[in-house]
Amino acid sequence: MNQSRAAAAASRYTLMTAAQAVREIAAGSTIALTGSGGGILEPDTILEALETCFQETGSPSDLTIVHALGIGDRVSRGTNHLAHKGMIKRVIGGHWTWSPTMIDLVRNDEIEAYAWPGGAISQLLREIGARRPGLITATGLDTFVDPRQGGGKFTASATEDLVELITLDGREYLRYKPFPVDVAIVRGDAIDPAGNITCAGEAAQLDALAVAQAAKASGGRVIAQVKTRLDHPIDPRLVHIPAVLVDVVVHAPAQWQTYASEFDPELSGDAANCRFSPGDNDDIRMLIARRAATEVDDGDVLNVGFGVSALVVDALAEQDRLDDVTLAIEQGLIDGIPVSGDLFGAARGPRVVHSSTTQFDLFAGGLLDVSCLGMAQVDATGAVNVSKIGGGIVGPGGFIDISQNSPRVVFCGTFTARGLDVEIIGGELVIRREGSVPKFVERVDQITYSGHLAAAQGREAVYITERAVFVLTPDGLELTEIAPGIDIDRDILPHMGFRPIINNPRTMDPGLFAPVAAHL
């Protein structure tokens, strides 16, 4: 490359401080963000500057924020920076748990709040980036996102219909309507002189490219936060956000890969060997996970969710079966060991790292054989709620995209919640104190998984607790297994809001009830 071409390439983007970059964001803008829990690909330097700008000047105000996955630390980072009355007008979010301050705005009806499937949001941003007429998909049918069940609205002020029901060739679909994106805020770990950005040193790529595409196609601006400015070109095969999409760059040399560490080579796939370390030593949680693992066949492509369901990986490791399955999580990672807890969304030693947008496409295309997910409420129809708990917004994250596109779903959780005290004694389950919150209710507060639709489509569902196992049938939930030491009339039926189908249930495998230490 001659000097004139090099100079032109070097001037393709504008270098700004975070404070300078956010001052150019106008009131009323729609901002699309990338990021995931635990600080994964989170442009926190820019988000913090945006908060400071609003606090000092009152601008920008009346913003619309769009994000597919949860962003924050449950305290002050991520979208918590943006949760100020007057600063935010509307949020379209996939997952909200990481941002309690934003949830407070929803609780007080101070913003227009919409919760959509995380994959649908990422894919819609890609469709906006291609100037197509929105996202047309079956994902979300017969759930709370379906216009017949509220269209994903969570506050009274959220009155605009952003999702519509359509029929094509005699089949029902949802159309997630497109909207212009004025600003994209993305992140990578390095940028070259031409302005090409790589995420090769990050824990995931997520939907950074789709977010940038949406803004560029809308005539908006792309602001990118990076840790390192290189003096040489990036390997073209490692460019994840091309320079032609980048307008403004914020150099953040103190940027960490995740909240946990500045850089962990295991999370970016740069470590030669990654050792598995058990994530939990709780006998009851592992009992549930072990039973769920029996639903996973060798050769399966498996997705695991948050909480107890994530421990299915531990159960498979106990059984030396991890090499017999392929793990795939929605953040765009295939294989490796998914990290649980606050770093959920990362994996140690992933063998494939591509965009979360692509991963959701693969899920919709039938990649998954089985998924192990959580459950907050279950009703007689087999419907599951994980998106609205205690009357508050949680959002589905990738739950709808995964559960609705998996031929088999294994729901995992304790039978009741809040205060449950259970112990395994002599190979039997002893309930010392019942939880005060029932999970098996007459009617779920919100449908995140439709048992009706699953049964009609021939998809299988199993619901596993520490004391009972249920399966989905065309006629509703059937009790098929009970734990040793459990009495149906004493320990199960009084704590359910409905009577399940009961046809001579068998006893759960006693081997599942061994202490965790016995398996290590």
Active site (catalytic) residues: 330
Cα gap 312→304, rounded to integer Å: 7
Cα gap 395→473, rounded to integer Å: 27
Please list, residue by residue across 50-75, b when 16 or more beta carbons sit within 10 angstroms of its beta carbon and e when fewer do: bbebbeeeeebbebbbbbbbbbbbee
The answer to whether 342 and 307 are in contact (CB under 8 A) is no
CB burial of residue 382 (10 Å; 0-12, 13-18, 19+):
buried
Which residues, other chains included, contact 5 with Cβ-Cβ below 8 Å and sequence gap of 6+? none
The four Cα atoms 184, 185, 188, 191 give a dihedral, to 10 degrees, of 70
Name residue 224's beta-bridge partners: 186, 249
Provide the CA 386 distance to its chain's centre, in angstroms: 12
Name residue 250's beta-bridge partners: 16, 225
Cα gap 95→116, rounded to integer Å: 8
Tokens of 27: 């009131």
The answer to whether 401 and 371 are in contact (CB under 8 A) is no
Tokens of 207: 């939907």
Tokens of 256: 């960490």
